[in-house]
Structure 1
Amino acid sequence: MDKENKVNHSGYEIEDVGQVQIADEVIAVIAGLAATEVDGVQQMSGNITNEIVSKLGMKNLSKGVKVSIDGEQVDVDLNLILQYGVSIPKTSKEVQEKVKGAIETMTGLTVNEVNIRIAGIQTESE
Structure 2
Amino acid sequence: MHLPGIQALWRDRRGGVSILTAILSMAMIGFAAFGIDVGMMTLSQRRLQGIADEAALAAAASSPDRRGEAVARLITANGLSDVTTTITPGTYRADPSVTPANRFTPGTDAGALRVTLTR
Taking structure 2 as the reference length, what is the TM-score of the superposition?
A: 0.38
Relative contact order, higher structure (CA 8 A, sep 6+): 1
Which structure features the higher share of helix residues?
Answer: 2
Taking structure 1 as the reference length, what is the TM-score of the superposition?
A: 0.36
